[in-house]
């Protein structure tokens, strides 16, 4: 795509959009990792609670 006086402006906007998209992907990856760790913690807590209830007698 090429248009006098427009191409450079559009190219700059595309670069900003690309950078913003990369940041969003990074945020999503961080959230995904955090949720996976929380799931592991919840499973561990559930297992401990189950074992505690079973040991009551």
Asked whether 30 and 38 are in contact (CB, 8 A), the reply is: no
Domain that holds residue 51: 1-57
pTM exceeding 0.75: no
7 and 1 Cβ atoms separated by less than 8 Å: yes
For 49, which DSSP code?
H
pLDDT of residue 49: 95
Domain count, the chain: 1
Angle at 55 between CA 50 and CA 57, to 5 degrees: 120
Could you report the per-residue pLDDT of 1-57, keeping only the tens digit for each?
Answer: 566 777 888 889 999 999 999 999 999 999 999 999 999 999 999 999 999 999 997
12, two tokens? 């700059």
């Amino acid at each position: 795509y090429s248009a006098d006086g427009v191409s450079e402006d559009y190219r700059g906007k595309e670069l900003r959009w690309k950078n913003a998209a990369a940041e969003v992907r990074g945020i999503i990856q961080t959230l995904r990792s955090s949720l996976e760790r929380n799931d592991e913690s919840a499973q561990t807590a559930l297992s401990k609670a189950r074992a505690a209830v079973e040991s009551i007698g």
